[in-house]
Amino acid sequence: MVHITWSCMVLGAILILSFTAQISAKAVVDENGVKTSVFLSPKFVMGPGSVVNRVYDNVDFPKGHIAIKSFDAEVVDEAGSPVPLQETYLHHWVVVRYQQKIDADIPESIGNLGLHQSKYSVLPNSGVCQNEVLEQYFGLGSETRKTSTHVPDPYGIEIGNPSDISPGYEERWMLNVHAIDTREVQDKLGCTECRCDLYNVTQDERGQPLNPNYRGGLRCCHDHLQCKLKEGSEGTTRALYMKFTVKWVEWSSSVVPVRIYIFDVTDTWRKENNPVHHCLVEYEVEPCNSGEDCTHIKRATSPIPKGGHVIYAVAHQHSGGNGSALYGEDGRLICASVPTYGTGTEPGNEAGYIVGMSTCYPEPGSVALSDGEMLTLESNYSRTQFHTGVMGLFYILIADHPERPLHTNHVQGQTTRPFEPLDLVPMIGLLGLVVIAAAGIAYHRRRFQTEDGYQSIVM
Ligand SMILES: *[C@@H]1O[C@H](CO)[C@@H](O)[C@H](O)[C@H]1NC(C)=O
Ligand SMILES: *[C@@H]1O[C@H](CO)[C@@H](O)[C@H](O)[C@H]1NC(C)=O
Ligand SMILES: *[C@@H]1O[C@H](CO)[C@@H](O)[C@H](O)[C@H]1NC(C)=O
């Protein structure tokens, strides 16, 4: 009897432990030097029609001087199960690198870092938007489950290099999650496009009155707002988490660092009279009239500050997106990235939602950009219906032009250069999941005011 009772207790304890472990997972698995960690965000609770736009400071992140190889994310419930987009629409998640004074007394979280400028500073990506917009290292939206974020060998996104951090500071990571619960709402697309009329909102997150011409976008679906529900709906709230699966390798001289750039089709940069990368992040698509061409085409041209080899590229679009491309100064195609729409109901295949974006992995060295080269970003949307708050971003990873040629001759898949331990890495990469990176989103500090129209808000 005693033994039975004891085993039952042990079994119960194991069950409880494994459940807890599932929820606060932070396991590190090492496969031939490629480490995998799984992190969960703090919990957020959502009910039908509710909006979460939270900023979490100092989130868990792999430590040390390392190279990130992939960064995948999804929304899960308390049991760790993936939550489909038609229930919780993931507008975006972005992860921002910053440094903070060690031992600085800053209240936890809530995105008020702007008040503590002397104690922290963002360590942004390499460009190109100014005014603290789109500074993230990683970030995606509804396409997060089926968009490859993998950084091929020998490349990696370098983080945790002590020499990049000011003395007395430490590197930290900030997470912004924007999600909309569309269970039982009247208009799912309208809620996900942040249509102002559905949110009964007249001022933005900072209390600034909204221009009546502003019909939808992030300024109309800030944290704690509520989208219009169907009559008589009664919903249950539930706890959710962002789950991050990060792969990395220890930094070494054989890893080649890449720079991250995010281009925005709403960038107002003009060579002659406005050479500032003012990125509006969102825009509107007016519906077409019958007989008219029903593709909305938006383009923006601006220079990349420093060139190099394109290692990876991906676009970010919202529902209605019909493909996007980045072109070089001479019109050559750098990368075309097209959306995949889901066809069912299960997570990763939700009908009508963009569940993935195609990515480009040019053979290293085959797609080179020169310093200051003018790049043109093109973002197409279907005009069969009206859209607010759509985006056209392009996230690219660039490696410096190598100082010496790689001496790699691919002959029937064989390499003729001497064997190096690093040669194993691509194979390991192939075994791993596909993966990364991020289009992302608006990321903007409170002190930047806008008169009207689109502007990112996230912070
Ligand atoms: C909309 O907002 C106004 C003022 O904030 C409030 O009086 C009204 O009840 C709200 N309407 C709905 C349907 O929530
Ligand atoms: C773009 O739109 C056309 C016409 O609606 C459609 O046939 C095509 O599949 C779309 N392409 C993408 C990438 O969505
Ligand atoms: C955008 O649409 C135009 C007109 O249909 C087409 O010529 C162009 O190739 C499209 N661009 C992309 C990136 O799909």
pLDDT tens for each residue of 391-438:
999 999 999 987 655 444 443 333 333 333 333 333 333 333 222 223
Q: Could you identify the residue written with the tokens 């997570």?
A: 347
Q: How many CB atoms lie within 10 A of CB 363?
A: 10
393 dihedral zone (left: phi>0; alpha: psi -120 to 50; beta) = beta
Ligand (nearest to CA of 295): 3
To test ligand 2's pocket by mutation, which of 316, 319, 322 has the most ligand atoms within 8 angstroms of CB?
322
Atom number, ligand 3, closest to the C-alpha of residue 380 = 1
Reported as half-sphere exposure (CB side, CA atoms, 13 A), residue 362 has a value of 22
Q: Which residues of the chain have pLDDT under 50?
A: 1-23, 110, 112, 114-115, 406-459
Atom number, ligand 2, closest to the C-alpha of residue 321 = 14
Which among 64, 56, 284, 36 has a CA at the least distance from the CA of 178? 56
201 CA from centroid of ligand 1 (Å): 8
Measured from CB, residues less than 6 Å from any atom of ligand 3 are 295, 297, 323-325, 336, 378, 380
- Ligand 2 site, residue 323, Cβ cutoff 6 A: yes
pLDDT tens for each residue of 428-455:
333 332 222 233 333 333 323 333 333 3
Concatenate the DSSP letters of all residues of 321-390 into one string. Answer: EEEEEEE-TTS-EEEEE-EEEB-BSSTT-BBTSEEEE-EE-PPTTSSEE-TT-EEEEEEEEE-SS-EEEE
Q: Could you identify the residue written with the tokens 């066809």?
A: 343
Atom number, ligand 2, closest to the C-alpha of residue 322 = 14
Determine the pLDDT at residue 328.
98
Atom number, ligand 3, closest to the C-alpha of residue 338 = 14
Which tokens is 267 given? Answer: 């960038």
Ligand (nearest to CA of 227): 1
- Strand pairing partners for 341? 354
Determine the pLDDT at residue 424.
36
Distance CA 416, CA 154 (A): 17
pTM of the model: 0.83
To test ligand 3's pocket by mutation, which of 263, 265, 293, 297 has the most ligand atoms within 8 angstroms of CB?
297
Determine the pLDDT at residue 103.
79
Ligand (nearest to CA of 358): 2
341 Cβ neighbours under 8 A, 6+ residues apart: 351, 352, 353, 354, 355
Degrees, nearest 5: CA angle 355-281-52: 60
Atom number, ligand 3, closest to the C-alpha of residue 379 = 13
193 CA from centroid of ligand 1 (Å): 20
To test ligand 3's pocket by mutation, which of 378, 381, 383 has the most ligand atoms within 8 angstroms of CB?
378
Determine the pLDDT at residue 107.
57
1 CA from centroid of ligand 2 (Å): 68
- Pick the residue whose CA is nearest to atom 5 on ligand 2: 382
296 CA from centroid of ligand 1 (Å): 34
Compute the mean pLDDT over every residue in the chain, rounded to the nearest whole number: 84
- Ligand 2 site, residue 131, Cβ cutoff 6 A: no
pLDDT tens for each residue of 233-283:
888 999 999 999 999 999 999 999 999 999 999 999 999 888 999 999 999
Concatenate the DSSP letters of all residues of 288-323 into one string. Answer: PPTTS--EEEEEEEEE-SS-EEEEEEEEEE-TTEEE
Ligand (nearest to CA of 379): 3
Determine the pLDDT at residue 214.
95
- Give the total residue count for the chain: 459
Distance CA 362, CA 79 (A): 39
